[in-house]
Amino acid sequence: MRMRPTLSWTPTEDLPPGTTDLEPVADALSAGGVLVLSGAGISTESGIPDYRGEGGSLSRHTPMTYQEFTASAQARRRYWARSHLGWRTFGRARPNAGHRAVAAFGRRGLLSGVITQNVDSLHQAAGSEGVVELHGSLDRVVCLGCGAFSPRRELAQRLEAANPDFDPVAAGINPDGDADLTDEQVADFRVLPCVICGGILKPDVVFFGEAVPPQRVEHCREMVRGAASLLVLGSSLTVMSGLRFVRQAAQAGTPVLIINRDQTRGDRHALTRVALPLGRALTTVADRLGIPVDVPDSLRT
């Protein structure tokens, strides 16, 4: 199945309103076996904007599609210039209270696993183990010719050397690490090939319009089958890549709980949707369960 480039979603039915009651979430976690499915909303408190929330990047930015990237050298130049600049900020992002709370739940043995739609690796940086990166990670680069993988930091160093005078001012940074730049700002950017075969380099992430690897999808489906409940954190569930797991859980009678400030495409399948900031919500639940979370007071929003 290909991840459809669905950029927006409008409810076509009356959905239950959000709540501020965290008891169902606390009850699910205390029972254990919770599978976390996280989206861009969990990383906003780390300074990475989401796609569709208030002020989301889709209001000003259309993400690169796989088809455009592979078909056009100009599109690749635009992507790599913007992504290279964005990486300088994106790569410095640090886990926030939400990521740290999820890691604390995992250390206590309350989670069956973590699936993330994000490409920022902040769950792992917070200490979560065995995270399934549904859409890959910006930390890695893959060659579309020979299939070789390499660390993003190595390509960043090569791009810095090849573009020593590249230092434009961006209008903003997007959830995929892409900076907002004009065509004029990227016109002279030099794109580099694979050092092994000279092929096209691509970040090891699933672009809009690209297929999530079938083995990864099946692994996630198996995780859903084995979960006692599914906890969705900070995802609008607009794209099918995440929504399918919510539907699968609901069809199997597995409770679905959502923490997201705005309505989601999965609300009708959920036991509850908590409309609170994630950092505050998750650290509050951790406090109620007596689970210490290593979070500075400044991050407890």
Judgement on whether residues 110 and 230 belong to the same structural domain of the protein: yes
Say which range, 89-98, 117-126, 139-148, has the weakest mean pLDDT.
Answer: 89-98
Judgement on whether residues 30 and 119 belong to the same structural domain of the protein: yes
Residue 4 located in a structural domain: no
Residue in the block written with tokens 């969990």: 42
Mean pLDDT, residues 36-47: 94
Is 43 annotated to bind ligand?
Answer: yes
61 has catalytic annotation: no
Judgement on whether residues 234 and 85 belong to the same structural domain of the protein: no
Q: How confident is the model at residue 91 (pLDDT cuts 50, 70, 90)?
A: confident
Q: How confident is the model at residue 61 (pLDDT cuts 50, 70, 90)?
A: low
Judgement on whether residues 125 and 270 belong to the same structural domain of the protein: yes
Residue 53 located in a structural domain: no
Judgement on whether residues 201 and 286 belong to the same structural domain of the protein: no
Residue 11 located in a structural domain: no
Those residues with Cβ within 8 angstroms of residue 134's Cβ, 6 or more apart along the chain or in another chain? 115, 116, 117, 206, 212, 216, 220, 241, 242
Task: Count up the domains in the chain and report the number.
Answer: 2
Domain termination site, one of 150, 179, 205: 205
Round the average pLDDT of the chain to a whole number and report it: 89
Is 290 annotated to bind ligand?
Answer: no
Is 282 annotated to bind ligand?
Answer: no
pLDDT tens digits, one per residue of 268-286: 999 999 999 999 999 999 9
Judgement on whether residues 74 and 121 belong to the same structural domain of the protein: no
pLDDT of residue 56: 43
| Domain encompassing residue 285 | 17-48+95-135+210-301
User: Is a pLDDT exceeding 50 seen at residue 51?
Assistant: yes
Mean pLDDT, residues 229-247: 95
Q: Give me the percent of the chain exceeding a pLDDT of 90.
A: 73
Residue 108 located in a structural domain: yes
pLDDT of residue 176: 65
User: Is a pLDDT exceeding 90 seen at residue 297?
Assistant: no
Residue 1 located in a structural domain: no
Domain termination site, one of 205, 222, 238: 205
Contact 86, 172 (CB under 8 A): no
- Give 2-19 as a DSSP string: B----------S--PPPB
Is 146 annotated to bind ligand?
Answer: yes
pLDDT of residue 209: 84
pLDDT of residue 9: 56
Strands in 256-259's sheet, in edge-to-edge order, are 132-133, 111-116, 34-38, 229-233, 256-259, 272-274
Say which range, 86-100, 120-134, 144-158, 195-209, has the weakest mean pLDDT.
Answer: 86-100
Q: Using alpha carbons, list the distances in angstroms from residue 214 to 2, 184, 251.
A: 10, 39, 21
Domain termination site, one of 149, 181, 205: 205
User: Is a pLDDT exceeding 80 seen at residue 210?
Assistant: yes
Judgement on whether residues 78 and 177 belong to the same structural domain of the protein: yes
* 136-143 and 201-205 beta bridge pairing: antiparallel
Q: Which CATH number goes with the domain that contains 242? A: 3.40.50.1220
Residue 186 located in a structural domain: yes
Judgement on whether residues 106 and 27 belong to the same structural domain of the protein: yes
* 111-116 and 256-259 beta bridge pairing: unpaired
Is 58 annotated to bind ligand?
Answer: yes
Is 285 annotated to bind ligand?
Answer: no
Is 133 annotated to bind ligand?
Answer: no
Say which range, 3-17, 153-167, 247-261, has the weakest mean pLDDT.
Answer: 3-17
pLDDT of residue 177: 67
Residue 81 located in a structural domain: yes
Q: How confident is the model at residue 298 (pLDDT cuts 50, 70, 90)?
A: low
Judgement on whether residues 27 and 169 belong to the same structural domain of the protein: no
pLDDT tens digits, one per residue of 125-183: 999 999 999 999 999 999 999 999 999 999 999 999 999 999 887 666 676 667 778 88
Is 145 annotated to bind ligand?
Answer: no
Mean pLDDT, residues 66-80: 94
Judgement on whether residues 152 and 101 belong to the same structural domain of the protein: no
Is 173 annotated to bind ligand?
Answer: no
Residue 40 located in a structural domain: yes
Is 220 annotated to bind ligand?
Answer: no
User: Is a pLDDT exceeding 70 seen at residue 300?
Assistant: no
Judgement on whether residues 88 and 160 belong to the same structural domain of the protein: yes
User: Is a pLDDT exceeding 70 seen at residue 1?
Assistant: no
Judgement on whether residues 113 and 189 belong to the same structural domain of the protein: no
Residues 99, 123, 135, 269: which is the catalytic one?
A: 135
